Every structure is written in structure tokens, then in C-alpha cells.
């Protein structure tokens, strides 16, 4: 092998191997980050939906309890029983049917009357459990005599003297439209993601594919963990053999498990596209570098060959001048090295941009939850105090339902611009959920943060948006470390203040103050 080929081979190895290693390392790191982000999002989504489902069941039991109290004095009035059963079924549409029965399980009234079970004695396990316990019951899913897969909720009826008079129960048909079906069914994706719900017996009680409702699922770790009372995340393979990134949560009042999952391929698709784009953009420069390397190898070999020839003419006067003339070629070699560094620098720049994209919410351009976690880790390491604003758009679902998700996205982006307008140069506005936003204010005390929050609230309230008109926001404010030395607790305080603002009528700011039972309102 001559010197030109040796230099060419070594230079190609030194250029391509770091390029390939950096490309592979960047892909591996970003792939894991995307997987972690998706699993965290699904876990948070499952927990949120489990909370909403639990709230719905508790609300349904409260409705039944109120009806039971009203019926205590009218158990002999058939007309009154029928009217109350019909009112309960139609007023909130929480139940597909309502049944009132006596301590023997005999039906006194039912709505709708088309069920034609009045006067019959009910023998289902759910009814017998309610008669036996004489307390509130949320049953497991069971098949009715009419062939409906049902969940049965009931509340006992007691007289003023404490005598047990029977019970009022509401049935939710899992394969028909109901409030529970709407609660679970309005959450969907277009990329293969979906969620499903199972009861204690691991029987599916909700699934986007209605034919799966009623199936019992075994060998699924996410379901096993969820019905055991746990919440978390896991990578699984679904029944069709598709790798999924799942989050799961437990519904305490019913013992159900909720699983939200997304195909791994859908999660990694943006990364694959970005890596291909980066490769295509760096390929021309890589080809140019290879040509420079080939040319440089030829140029480097020529002076070195002159040096080798000059070794045979050491005694000639002109040899010194020849060797001196070769010295400049080391400078050219250094320039070639710089050119290679420029190429690698461009690659690192692209990888840095890719990492930045992973830390940025694609819709609003604000930081995402991973960016938020990175900032908090920095604040904790440097003991930098900060205030946090928890922000939520009031009645945002109404905007999506009335005007569509495209208009909703426009509202989110406009709010993001307004958050930037009121933020200081070091503040960190982030989007952490659908209509949920956070602003971190490093070094700001609570009263300054409250002023920023109030400026943002007034700006949002006074701005008229196309199609939508005026919107409002609710905000909660807390601070670290004077709110609490534990950062998650500070965020929980801000969330609690946000919910307090919503309960107080929305379009306001609530500030957490240590030692006070009532939040300050700005």
C-alpha cells in the first residue's frame, strides 16, 4: 500500500467512524427520551381519566342517595315512585335505566317502563348484594336477562325511624350510549393510540372496539398492575402483537383499571423522520468532505514523496530549500483538519437542534414537561428560589366542541404568545398538558408572581380572538422554597390554588400563602 492510499484510508476512518458513532448515539438517546415522554404522558393521562371516572361514579351514587332520601316517605305511592325514577333517569342521563325495589327485591317502579319488570323479583348478584349489605353498591359487570352487559349502582332507602325499605338502583349499559361511555369515549387519537377499562375480574367494560366489551383479558401486565391498585407505566405487546407504550391507573371506588397506550412505532415516527432529514441535509457536506479528503491525500503524498527523494540528495545545496518549501504543507493539513471539524460541528449542531425539538412543545413552541423537569433540576442544584404559575383555560372543552380543534389549537398558540409577552427574560413558560400551562419565575417572590399572573389574566380577558371572542384563564401561584422545601408539593399547592380559582368562579388568580387556610385572591 502506498502512502496516498494509507493516508486516504486512515482519514476516511477518522471522518466516517465519529460521524456514524455520533449519529447512532444521538438516535439512541433521543429514542429513549421519546419513549419515556410518551409513557409519562400516557400514565398521567390514565391517572387523570381514572380521577374523572371515580368522580362520575361518586356523583352517580350521590344522585341515587338524594333520590333514596326523597323516596323514604313515598314507598307506598306508586305514581310518585314512577315519577322519581323517570326524573332520575332523564335529568342527568347518568343511567340507562332506574329501578326501585323493596327489601325482598321486588320491583316497585322502573324507568323506562319498556323494561316490563315491575312486580318481578330481581335475583341478580348486584341486587342481592345491595339487599344483603343494605348499603351503597357498585357492581362488577354482569349480563342481564335481556342480554345487556350492565354495571349496577344502588343506594339503600331507610325510613325516618331507620327501617330498611328497599333500594334505588341505576343501570349503566356498557354496550349502549351513556354518560360513562361519553366520558371515556371522547378521549381518542388518530395515530393508533387508544384506552380501555377493565373491572376487578379483568373483564373489559370499555373499549373503542365495542365488540371487545365483555371480553376477559389475561396475561397483560398493565391490567394486572392497574386492578391491583397501582398506577404507572410499562411497555407491553397488545393482543394483535403490536408493541405499545402504556400508562395505567386505578379507579378506587369501583376497583377498575384504566390503560392508555400508544403504538411504539407512532412515538418513534417523528424521530425517524428527523434523523432521515438530518442525514439528507448532512449528506452533501459529507460527500464534499470526501472529495476534499481525496484531494488532500494526493496533495499530502506529493510533498512527502519529495521529502523521501530529498533524503537521497542531502549533500546538494538546493535540498535545504526543497525541505523548507515542504513545511507549509503541514499548515494545509491543519486546514483540512479544520474542515473536518466544521463538518462534525454541523452534525453536532443538528443533534442539538433535535434535542431542542424533543424539549419543545410542537404546537405552541413553549417548553414541554421534559424542559420543565430540566429547569427544576437546575434550580434545585443551584438553590435558586422560584415562583410557579399554574394556568388553565376556562371552559376550553367548550371551545373545542363549539369551534373545532383547529380553532382550539389557535387559542392555545395565542395564549402561548401572551405568556411570552408578560414573562421576563429569564422566565420559563411551558405547556404541560392539553390546556394546562406553567410559568416558572426564577428569583421572583410570590407577590411579584401574582402581579405577573394578574397581568396575564387581564391581557387574556381583554383580547378578542377570531371566531372565539373572549376567553378567560384561572391561575394558581406558589413559590419555592418558602411555600415548601419539596418541589412537587409546591406544584401541588399551585394546582390546588388553580382549582380553588375555578371553584371560586374562574377568571381569577389564587395565591398560596403558608399558614393561611384561605388562599389570597388577586
Tracing cell 398506577 back to the chain, one arrives at: 231
The pLDDT tens digits for 490-499 are 999 999 999 9
Which set of grid coordinates corresponds to residue 24? 447512532
Over residues 451-469, mean pLDDT: 92
The pLDDT tens digits for 60-82 are 999 999 999 999 988 989 999 99
Over residues 242-268, mean pLDDT: 89
Q: Are 239 and 209 in contact (CB under 8 A)?
A: no
Is 123 in the same domain as 168?
yes
CA distance 11 to 143: 74
Structural domain of 288: 3-33+267-341
pLDDT band at residue 2 under the 50/70/90 scheme:
low
Which set of grid coordinates corresponds to residue 191? 395515530
| Residue of higher predicted confidence among 316 and 183 | 183
Give the CATH number for residue 436: 3.30.70.270
| Cβ neighbours of residue 406 closer than 8 Å, sequence gap 6 or more | none
Is 316 in the same domain as 329?
yes
Classify the phi-psi angles of 214: left when phi > 0, otherwise alpha if psi is within -120 to 50, otherwise beta: left
Q: Is residue 81 part of a domain?
A: yes
Give the CATH number for residue 237: 3.30.450.20
Long-range interactions of 345-354: CB distance < 8 A, separation 24+: 346/282, 346/285, 347/19, 347/22, 347/23, 347/282, 348/22, 350/278, 350/281, 350/282, 351/22, 351/26, 351/278, 354/26, 354/30, 354/274, 354/275, 354/278
Residue where a domain stops, chosen among 266, 287, 318: 266
Is 390 in the same domain as 494?
yes
Over residues 31-37, mean pLDDT: 88
The pLDDT tens digits for 367-418 are 888 889 999 999 999 999 999 999 999 999 999 999 998 999 999 999 999 9
Scored b (16 or more CB within 10 A) or e, 332-354 reads eeeebeebbeebeeebeebbeeb
What pLDDT was estimated at residue 133? Answer: 92
CA distance 428 to 419: 9
Residue where a domain stops, chosen among 172, 198, 224: 172
pLDDT band at residue 293 under the 50/70/90 scheme:
confident
This prediction's pTM: 0.50
Q: Is residue 352 part of a domain?
A: no
Is 273 in the same domain as 417?
no
pLDDT band at residue 348 under the 50/70/90 scheme:
very low
At residue 167, the 3 state secondary structure works out as strand
CA distance 218 to 225: 12
Is 194 in the same domain as 64?
no
Residue where a domain stops, chosen among 216, 245, 266: 266
Is 17 in the same domain as 148?
no
CA distance 187 to 427: 33
State the DSSP string of 124-137: -HHHHHHHHH-S-E
Q: Is residue 305 part of a domain?
A: yes
pLDDT band at residue 92 under the 50/70/90 scheme:
confident
State the DSSP string of 422-448: HS-TT-EEEE-SSSEEEEEEET--HHH
| Cβ neighbours of residue 55 closer than 8 Å, sequence gap 6 or more | none
Is 306 in the same domain as 256?
no
Q: What one-character DSSP code corresponds to residue 463?
A: P
CA distance 431 to 423: 14
Q: Which residues on adjacent β-strands are paired with residue 436? A: 392
Query: Please, where are the H alpha helices in 112-216?
Result: 125-133, 179-185
- The values of phi and psi at residue 102, to 5°, are -90, 180
CA distance 68 to 337: 85
The pLDDT tens digits for 111-164 are 987 778 888 998 888 899 999 999 999 988 887 766 678 889 999 999 989 999
Q: Is residue 363 part of a domain?
A: no
What pLDDT was estimated at residue 214? Answer: 82
CA distance 386 to 379: 8
**Domain tally for the chain?**
4
Q: Are 96 and 172 in contact (CB under 8 A)?
A: yes
Is 240 in the same domain as 377?
no
What pLDDT was estimated at residue 6? Answer: 74
What pLDDT was estimated at residue 437? Answer: 95
Is 292 in the same domain as 150?
no
pLDDT band at residue 347 under the 50/70/90 scheme:
very low
Is 12 in the same domain as 136?
no
Asked whether residue 431 carries a pLDDT value surpassing 90, the answer given is: yes
Amino acid at each position: 500500500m502506498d502512502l496516498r492510499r494509507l493516508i486516504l484510508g486512515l482519514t476516511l476512518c477518522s471522518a466516517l467512524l465519529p460521524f456514524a458513532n455520533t449519529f447512532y448515539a444521538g438516535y439512541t438517546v433521543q429514542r429513549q427520551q421519546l419513549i419515556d415522554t410518551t409513557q409519562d404522558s400516557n400514565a398521567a393521562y390514565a391517572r387523570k381519566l381514572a380521577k374523572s371516572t371515580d368522580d362520575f361514579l361518586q356523583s352517580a351514587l350521590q344522585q341515587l342517595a338524594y333520590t333514596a332520601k326523597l323516596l323514604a316517605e313515598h314507598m307506598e305511592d306508586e305514581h310518585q315512585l314512577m315519577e322519581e325514577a323517570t326524573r332520575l333517569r332523564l335529568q342527568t342521563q347518568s343511567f340507562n335505566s332506574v329501578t326501585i325495589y323493596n327489601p325482598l327485591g321486588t320491583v316497585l317502579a322502573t324507568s323506562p317502563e319498556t323494561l316490563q319488570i315491575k312486580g318481578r323479583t330481581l335475583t341478580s348478584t348486584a341486587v342481592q348484594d345491595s339487599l344483603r349489605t343494605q348499603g351503597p353498591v357498585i357492581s362488577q359487570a354482569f349480563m342481564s336477562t335481556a342480554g345487556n352487559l350492565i354495571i349496577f349502582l344502588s343506594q339503600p332507602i331507610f325510613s325516618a325511624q331507620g327501617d330498611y325499605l328497599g333500594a334505588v338502583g341505576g343501570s349503566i349499559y356498557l354496550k349502549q350510549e351513556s354518560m360513562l361511555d361519553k366520558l371515556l369515549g371522547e378521549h381518542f387519537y388518530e395515530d393508533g393510540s387508544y384506552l380501555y377499562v377493565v373491572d376487578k375480574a379483568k373483564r373489559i367494560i370499555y373499549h373503542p372496539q365495542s365488540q371487545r366489551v365483555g371480553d376477559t383479558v389475561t396475561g397483560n401486565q398493565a391490567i394486572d398492575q392497574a386492578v391491583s391498585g397501582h398506577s404507572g407505566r410499562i411497555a407491553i405487546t397488545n393482543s394483535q402483537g403490536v408493541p405499545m407504550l402504556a400508562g395505567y391507573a386505578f379507579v378506587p371506588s369501583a376497583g377498575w383499571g384504566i390503560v392508555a397506550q400508544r403504538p411504539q412505532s407512532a412515538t418513534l415516527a417523528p424521530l425517524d423522520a428527523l434523523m432521515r432529514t438530518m442525514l439528507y441535509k448532512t449528506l452533501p457536506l459529507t460527500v464534499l468532505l470526501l472529495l476534499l479528503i481525496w484531494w488532500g491525500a494526493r496533495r499530502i503524498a506529493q510533498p512527502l514523496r519529495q521529502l523521501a527523494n530529498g533524503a537521497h540528495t542531502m549533500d546538494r545545496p538546493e535540498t535545504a530549500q526543497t525541505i523548507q518549501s515542504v513545511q507549509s504543507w503541514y499548515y494545509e493539513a491543519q486546514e483540512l483538519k479544520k474542515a473536518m471539524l466544521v463538518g462534525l460541528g454541523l452534525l453536532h449542531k443538528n443533534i442539538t437542534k433535535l434535542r431542542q425539538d424533543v424539549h419543545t412543545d410542537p404546537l405552541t413552541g413553549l417548553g414541554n414537561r421534559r424542559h420543565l423537569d430540566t429547569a427544576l433540576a437546575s434550580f434545585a442544584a443551584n438553590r435558586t428560589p422560584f415562583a410557579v404559575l399554574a394556568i388553565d383555560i376556562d371552559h376550553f372543552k367548550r371551545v373545542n366542541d363549539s369551534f373545532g380543534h383547529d380553532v382550539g389549537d389557535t387559542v392555545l398558540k395565542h395564549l402561548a404568545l401572551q405568556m411570552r409577552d408578560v414573562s421576563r427574560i429569564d422566565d420559563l413558560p411551558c405547556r404541560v398538558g392539553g390546556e394546562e400551562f406553567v410559568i416558572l419565575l426564577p428569583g421572583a417572590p410570590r407577590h411579584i408572581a401574582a402581579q405577573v399572573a394578574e397581568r396575564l389574566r387581564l391581557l387574556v380577558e381583554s383580547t378578542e380572538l377570531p371566531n372565539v371572542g373572549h376567553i378567560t384563564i384561572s391561575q394558581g401561584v406558589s413559590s419555592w422554597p418558602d411555600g415548601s422545601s419539596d418541589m412537587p408539593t409546591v406544584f401541588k399547592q399551585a394546582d390546588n390554588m388553580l382549582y380553588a380559582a375555578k371553584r371560586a368562579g374562574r377568571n381569577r388568580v389564587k395565591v398560596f400563602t403558608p399558614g393561611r387556610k384561605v388562599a389570597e385572591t388577586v
